[in-house]
Amino acid sequence: MILATNLCFRTIPTTCTTVKQQKDPPHQLNPVIPTKTKACECFDLHKELIPYEKAWSWQKQIVKQKKSLLQEHEDCPDTLIVLQHNPVYTMGTGSSENYLNFDVKEAPFDVYRTERGGEVTYHGPGQLVMYPIINLRNHKMDLHWYLRTLEEVVIRVLSSTFSIKACRIEGLTGLGPAHGDDFAIVYGNSTYIDRNQKLAAIGVRVSKWITYHGLALNVTTDLTPFSWIVPCGLRDRQVGSIKGLLQEFQSSTQYAEAVKPFPDDYQLIDISYKSLIKEFSEVFNLEIHQKAITVPEFWREDH
């Protein structure tokens, strides 16, 4: 979990340029591993709304392909998918329906129980979802390291792009049931800022050291659907978004000038996306190669 210790906004960029990393980051908990940079294919659908079931099936298909490559002792490169979802609730492998504030038979949106770790969460427009499908043999075969490194990506995005300084709160990370080398990683309690607002959630699965599922960052998300669940099973935490936080501080006298001009929703999504890609690339020491896929092509493929 992450709690901001200091909030200090500078002018927010309104163009989709990559923000340079600060020379002196506020934390060094997860230094980049000094190994040779490896390639990572990236499917960029960050402006698109992709049904959850489609994306979930696509992930499992890619995992299956990577396992086959490993069995053949062939190179198994990393993959990254970034997208938005239509409104949906997802639950982890051991999630409790007690955290649903509605009858599951009369749910406001589709509800999927998945093999990831963690409790129920919501995905919807304005939330950037990042699915790293990576071979931890290429990095570090340590599940806690992987969680901390995903967490580091979000911390750096908040810090380098929006000057939201955050620190970790320990004790809310764990491993779910393991079946051989198949783990559900319980990590729903992720990125927090001032007033304990929850900006992001992390829940992953690792099978034969191949990761899938991932993280979700609330950028311009309508937060109303979160009120119909207990997000990640935490009753004493609020949910927030980058947009909401910026607007709150824009309305204050102290920060009114600092956040002008204020980006619109599309710009804020693009800014956040570029920052996520940049920080993911640096923290995981990967060279990102964009791999084009259009929505019509996506529907035609057997994902």
Average pLDDT of the residues in 179-205: 60
Catalytic residues: 232
Which of helix, strand or coil describes residue 197?
strand
Residue 191: its pLDDT value, please? Answer: 47
Cβ pair 30, 148 in contact under 8 A: yes
Q: What is the pLDDT of residue 231?
A: 86
For 279, the token pair is: 């920080």
pLDDT of 205 strictly over 70: yes
Q: Can you give the residue ranges of every domain in the chain?
A: 38-291
Classified as helix, coil or strand, 7 is: strand
Residue type, 181: D
Compare 287 and 260 and report the one with higher pLDDT.
287
pLDDT of residue 108: 96
Length of the chain: 303
Q: Please report the pLDDT score of residue 238 as a whole number.
A: 82
Lowest mean pLDDT across 39-48, 164-173, 212-221, 290-299: 164-173
- How confident is the model over 177-187, as pLDDT tens digits? 444 454 544 44
**Residues forming beta bridges with residue 168, ordered by sequence position:** 2
The pLDDT confidence band at residue 37, using thresholds 50, 70 and 90, is: confident
Tokens 């311009």, residue located: 220
196 Ramachandran zone, left/alpha/beta (phi>0; psi -120 to 50):
left
pLDDT at 300 over 80: no
Question: What pLDDT, on the 0 to 100 scale, is given for residue 249?
Answer: 74
What is the average pLDDT value for the chain, to the nearest integer? 80
Note the pLDDT of residue 26: 45
What class does CATH assign to 38-291? alpha beta
pLDDT in tens, 59-101: 999 999 999 999 999 988 999 999 999 999 999 988 899 989 9
Three-state DSSP state, 31: coil
Q: Where are the beta strands (DSSP E) in 169-295?
A: 174-179, 182-186, 192-193, 197-198, 200-207, 210-218, 238-239, 286-290
Its pTM surpasses 0.95: no
Per cent of the chain over pLDDT 90 is 52
Q: How far, in Å, CA of 296 to CA of 303, rounded?
A: 12
Q: How confident is the model at residue 159 (pLDDT cuts 50, 70, 90)?
A: confident
Residue 17: pLDDT band with limits 50, 70, 90: very low
- Identify the residue with better confidence: 198 or 7: 198
Compare 54 and 296 and report the one with higher pLDDT: 54
